[in-house]
Amino acid sequence: MFEIQAAPGGVGAFVHGIDIRSDVNGNVAGELKQALGDYGVLFFRDQEISEQDHIAFAEQFGQINVNRFFAANDRFPQIAMVVKEPDQTGNIGGGWHTDHSYDQEPALGSILVAREVPERGGDTLYANMYAAYDALSDGLKETLNGLRALHSSRRAFGANTEYAPRKDGRIGNPELATQDSIHPVVITHPISGRKALYVNGGFTIRFDGWTEDESKPLLQYLYAHASRPEFTYRFKWEKGSIAFWDNRATWHYAVNDYHGSRRVMHRITVEGCALSA
Residue numbers annotated as active site: 97, 99, 252, 267
Beta bridge partners of 158: none
Q: x/- string (CB under 6 A) for ligand SIN, residues 37-66? A: ------------------------------
12 contacts ligand SIN (rule: CB under 6 A): no
Q: Does residue 119 come out as left (phi exceeding 0), alpha (psi in the -120 to 50 range) or beta?
A: alpha
Q: How many residues bind ligand SIN (CB under 6 A)?
A: 10
124 contacts ligand SIN (rule: CB under 6 A): yes
Q: x/- string (CB under 6 A) for ligand SIN, residues 214-253? A: --------------------------------------x-
Distance CA 60, CA 116 (A): 25
Query: Which residues 6+ apart lie within 8 Å of 85 measured at CB?
Result: 262
Distance CA 80, CA 127 (A): 22
Q: Nearest distance from residue 42's CB to ligand SIN, in Å?
A: 15
- By C-alpha distance, which of 234, 270, 238, 235 is closest to 48? 238
Our CA angle for 92, 94, 98, nearest 5°, is: 90
Q: Nearest distance from residue 228's CB to ligand SIN, in Å?
A: 20
Which of residues 18, 79, 92, 129 is near ligand SIN by CB under 6 A?
Answer: 92
Do 97 and 104 meet the contact criterion of CB atoms below 8 Å apart?
A: no
Which of residues 82, 136, 218, 249 is near ligand SIN by CB under 6 A?
Answer: 82
DSSP state, 91? -
Choice between 149 and 254, CB closer to ligand SIN:
254
78 contacts ligand SIN (rule: CB under 6 A): no
User: Where do contacts with ligand SIN occur on this chain (CB under 6 A)?
Assistant: 82, 92-93, 110, 112, 124, 252, 254, 265, 267
